A and B are shown apart, each in its own frame.
Chain A
Amino acid sequence: MGHPNVGKSVFFNRLTGAKVFESNYPGTTVDFMKGWMRLGGEDVELIDVPGTFSLEPKDKAEEVAVKMLTENKDSVVVCVLDASKVERGLYLALEIIERGYPVVVALNMWDVAEDKNIRIDVEKLERILGVPVVPTTAISGEGFKELVSKLKEARPAKIEEIIERAGAGKEGGGESAAVSG
Chain B
Amino acid sequence: MQVKKGVVKVPLSVDERWDLIEKITKQTVEFGAYKHTLKDAIAELTVKPLTGIPVAIAVLYGFWSFFCDFAGTLFTDGFMVKIFDEHWLPWLQSVFPGGLGDPLYALMVDAGHLENGVLVPSDNCFEAFGVLTSGLFVPFGVVLWAVLAFYLVFAFLEDIGYLPRLAVLVDTVLHKIGLHGYAIVPTFLSLGCNVPGVMATRVLETRKQRFLMITLLGIFIPCGAQIGIMQDLVPELMGWIFLTLAIGYLGFGYILNKIVPGESPEIIMDVPPYRMPALRNIARKLWIRTSRFLLVAVPFVLLGCLIVGLMYLTGAMDWLASVLGPLLMVWFGVPKEAVAPLIAGFLRKDLAVGVLGGLMERGVMTHFQVFTSVVLLSIYFPCLATFALMLKEENWKEFLGSLASLVVVVFVYGGLIHLVGLMLGVA
CA–CA, A73 and B30, complex, Å: 35
Identify which of residues 138-162 in chain A touch chain B, using a CB-to-CB cut-off of 8 Å. Answer: 139, 156, 158-160, 162
Task: Report A-chain residues with C-beta under 8 Å of the C-beta of B27.
Answer: 121, 124, 128, 166, 169-170
Selected contact of B8 from candidates A27, A59, A159, CB within 8 Å: A159
Contact A27 B203 (CB under 8 A): yes
Question: 7 new A-B pairs (CB below 8 Å) besides A95-B17, A170-B23?
Answer: A5-B270, A24-B159, A30-B202, A73-B1, A98-B3, A163-B20, A169-B27
B-contact bits for A64-103, CB 8 A (1 contact / 0 none): 1000000001100000000000110011001100111000
Let me know if A167 is at the binding interface, CB within 8 A.
yes
- Name the interface residues of A1-35: CB closer than 8 Å to any CB of B: 3-5, 10, 19, 21-28, 30-31
B18 located at the interface, meaning its Cβ lies under 8 Å from any Cβ of chain A in the complex: yes
The 6 A-B residue pairs with the shortest CB-CB distance in the complex, in nearest-first order = A117-B32, A27-B203, A160-B8, A60-B202, A166-B23, A100-B2
Seen from chain B, the residues whose Cβ lies within 8 Å of a Cβ on chain A are 1-3, 5-8, 10-12, 17-18, 20-21, 23-34, 155, 158-161, 163-164, 182, 185, 199-200, 202-205, 210, 265, 268-270, 272, 275, 278, 281, 284-285, 288
With contacts A30-B203, A129-B24, A166-B27 taken as known, whether A24 is within 8 angstroms of B3 at the C-beta atoms is no
- Give the docked Cα–Cα distance between A101 and B40 (Å): 36
Given known contacts A19-B284, A28-B200, A61-B202, A125 and B163 CB-to-CB distance under 8 angstroms: no
Q: Is the CB of A121 within 8 A of B12?
A: no
User: A117 touching B33 by the CB < 8 A rule?
Assistant: yes
A-B contact count (CB 8 A): 152
Give the docked Cα–Cα distance between A19 and B241 (Å).
38
Chain A nearest CB, measured from B5 CB (Å): 8
A22 to B158, CA, bound (A): 10
Contact of A58 (CB < 8 Å), options: B32, B161, B205: B205
Give 13 A-B contacts (CB < 8 Å), ordered by A residue: A23-B285, A24-B160, A24-B161, A25-B163, A27-B185, A94-B21, A120-B28, A128-B28, A158-B5, A160-B6, A163-B20, A170-B23, A170-B26
Name the contact of B17 in the complex, choosing from A19, A25, A91, A160 (C-beta under 8 A): A91
Chain B residues lying within 8 Å of A61, measured Cβ to Cβ, are: 202-203
Interface residues, chain A, with chain B CB atoms under 8 Å away = 3-5, 10, 19, 21-28, 30-31, 53, 58-61, 64, 73-74, 86-87, 90-91, 94-95, 98-100, 116-122, 124-125, 128-129, 139, 156, 158-160, 162-163, 166-167, 169-170
Specify which chain B residues have a CB less than 8 angstroms from the CB of A99 in the assembled complex: 2, 10-11
Given the complex, which residues of B lie within 8 Å of A122, measured CB to CB? 28
A4→B203 CA distance, assembly (Å): 12
Task: Say yes or no: A86 contacts B25, CB within 8 Å.
Answer: yes
* In the complex, residue of chain B having the shortest beta-carbon distance to the beta carbon of A93: B21
- Do A159 and B270 touch across chains, with their CB atoms under 8 A apart? no
Residues of A within 8 Å of B155, CB to CB, are: 23
- Asked if B24 and A160 sit within 8 Å, CB to CB, the answer is no
Q: CB-CB < 8 A to A124: which residues of B?
A: 27-28
Which of B1, B21, B202, B268 contacts A91 (CB under 8 A)? B21
CA distance A18 to B210 in the complex (A): 31
Q: How far is the CA of A53 from the CA of B26 in the complex (A)?
A: 22
Q: Which of B8, B11, B31 contacts A163 (CB 8 A)?
A: B8
Of all chain A residues, which has the CB nearest B277? A24
* CB of B291, distance to nearest CB on chain A (Å): 11
Give every chain A residue within 8 A of B272 (Cβ-Cβ). Answer: 4-5, 24
Are the CB atoms of B11 and A95 closer together than 8 Å? yes
* Closest A residue by C-beta to B155: A23
CB–CB A90/B164 < 8 A: no
A178 to B241: give the CA distance in the assembly, Å. 74
Give the distance to chain B from A118, nearest Cβ to Cβ, in Å: 6
Closest to B393 in A: A60
Residues of B within 8 A of A86 (CB): 25, 29
Evaluate contact between A98 and B10: CB separation under 8 angstroms: yes
Bound Cα distance A120, B24 (Å):
11
Q: Which of A24, A31, A100, A128 has the most CB of B within 10 A?
A: A24
Q: With A5-B272, A128-B28, A166-B20 given, is the CB distance from A98 to B202 under 8 Å? A: no
Residue pair A26, B269 in contact (C-beta under 8 Å): yes
**A160 and B203: CB pair below 8 A?**
no
A83 CB, nearest partner CB in chain B, Å: 9
With A156-B3, A166-B23 as contacts: A58 and B17 at CB distance below 8 Å: no
* B288–A19 touching, CB < 8 Å: yes
Set of chain A residues within 8 Å of B275, measured between Cβ atoms:
24
The smallest beta-carbon distance between A88 and chain B, in angstroms, is 9
- Chain A residues lying within 8 Å of B204, measured Cβ to Cβ, are 59-60
The answer to whether B31 and A23 touch across the interface, beta carbons within 8 angstroms, is: no
Q: List residues of chain B with CB within 8 A of the CB of A28.
A: 158, 185, 200, 203
CB of A26, distance to nearest CB on chain B (Å): 6
Q: Assuming A59-B202, A87-B25, A128-B27, is B20 touching A162 (CB within 8 A)?
A: yes
Q: Find out whether the CB atom of A117 lies under 8 angstroms from the CB atom of B31.
A: yes
Query: What chain A residues lie within 8 Å of B288 (beta carbons)?
Result: 19, 21
Q: Is the CB of B24 within 8 A of A166?
A: yes
Q: Whole-angstrom distance between the alpha carbons of A160 and B6 in the complex?
A: 7
Closest partner residue, chain B, to A5 (CB atom): B272
> In chain A, what residue has the closest Cβ to B201?
A60
Whether B12 lies near A94 (C-beta < 8 A) is yes
- Asked if residues B268 and A58 are in contact (CB atoms below 8 Å), the reply is yes
Q: Are A27 and B200 in contact (CB under 8 A)?
A: yes
- Assembled-state Cα–Cα distance A167/B7 (Å): 15
* Cross-chain contact of B164 among A25, A128, A163, A169 (Cβ < 8 A): A25
